[in-house]
Homo-oligomer: A and B are copies of this chain.
Amino acid sequence: MDQRQALTAFGALSQETRLHIIRMLVVAGPDGMAAGAIAERAEVSPSNVSFHLKELERSGLIAQQRESRSIIYTANYEALGGLVRFLMEDCCSGHPEICAPAAEVAACCTPKMEEKLQ
Contact = CB atoms under 8 A, between A and B. Distances in A.
A94 to B, nearest CB: 4
Chain A contact-residue range equals: 35 or more
A24 to B, nearest CB: 10
Interface of A: 3, 6-8, 10-11, 13-16, 19, 22-23, 26-27, 77-78, 80-85, 87-103, 105-111, 113, 116-117
Contacts of A90: 23
A103 B101 contact: no
A108 B10 CA distance: 24
Contacts of A3: 16, 19
B98 A77 contact: yes
